[in-house]
Amino acid sequence: MRAMLLVNPKATSTNQRTRDVLIRALSATMNLKVEETAYRGHAALLSRKAHASGFDVVAVLGGDGTINEAVNGLLDAEDGRSGADGDASERPALLVIPGGSANVFARALGLPNSPVEAVGAVLEAIRDDRRRTVGLGQAIWDDESRYFTFCSGLGYDAEVIRAVEGMRGTGRKATPTRYVNTALHHYLTTDKRHAAMAVEGPDVPRAGHIFMAVVSNTSPWTYVGSQPVCPTPWASFETGLDLLGLQRLGLPSMLRLMPQIMGVRDTLPNGRHLVQLHDEREFTLTAERPVAFQLDGDYLGEVERVTFRSIPNALQVLV
């Protein structure tokens, strides 16, 4: 089995010694070519090359951002067609080893959060050729399109991610505590009176006055340390996209919502000021003014219109 391993040398939860041990373990079971990512978008370029060169597997040792880039590279067909139009078995399988701060995609697949323990599980999957086919989400805005593995969001959560990314640019790590503290600080200063967004789709009646929209391809949406956060508990890799829209950000509304989304659960949050969608194939979020936009925890700027589509059976994962 020929595999290309994409290593993010700046991954939060690994160091050079750990990476060397993991690479040796994987090399014992696969014909492994190791490539380090050097800049934003490099993982997408490398995985695209792996696809074109006939590799059987693209493995990623890194966080959710590196995984997202690799996935987009795999589905970016060279002939200009959408890569998701083809059979998932026709492109390299994906293998992930968590190396970031949250590792939402890897944990949603059932992998341990420790990279060392995850390699043990991955080696079993390689030995047994144990594969799972998962669906993805696709976001389309302006003249751009990008796939996502677990979530996207517009509004408040994307503003928090933007703030944390700014701190990372100054050398500070993106720890769970930093995300929580930033979210609390940002909540105190965010506009809670003038909602900008609305949602509608081919099978979705229009709903407006939305401050924050969470779009999910699986559950959990994220983690606070070891605690999962599940605003869309019915979302899964085998169904369409889910959405939770918040039409109020006031303290009473948030205090009612938070206990309903913390921890593993199978019931939807309830409240009069929630917009909820489940298993949708397509919908569009529009905004009266530019709003912050994130995808798989990666801040992408401000937008006024994004269409979301469910892409079923898009990718094989060794897990």
Phi and psi at 249, nearest 5°, equal: -120, 10
* Helix 156-168 with 176-189: angle, nearest 10 deg: 130
pLDDT tens digits, 106-153 = 999 999 999 999 999 999 999 999 999 999 999 999 999 999 999 999
Beta strands in the chain (DSSP E): 2-7, 31-36, 57-62, 93-98, 131-141, 144-148, 151-155, 197-201, 204-210, 212-216, 222-224, 227-229, 241-246, 274-280, 282-295, 298-318
Could you give the count of Cα atoms lying within 13 Å of 198 in the half-sphere of its Cβ? 9
CB 146 within 8 A of CB 76: no
pLDDT tens digits, 222-273 = 998 889 999 999 999 999 999 999 999 999 999 999 999 999 989 999 999 9
C-alpha distance from residue 313 to each of 37, 90, 176, 236, 241 (Å): 27, 12, 32, 12, 13
CA distance 270 to 28: 50
pLDDT band at 192 (very low <50, low <70, confident <90, very high): confident
CA distance 149 to 68: 7
The H or E element that residue 185 is part of is helix 176-189
What number of residues does the chain have? 319
Tokens of 149: 């593995």
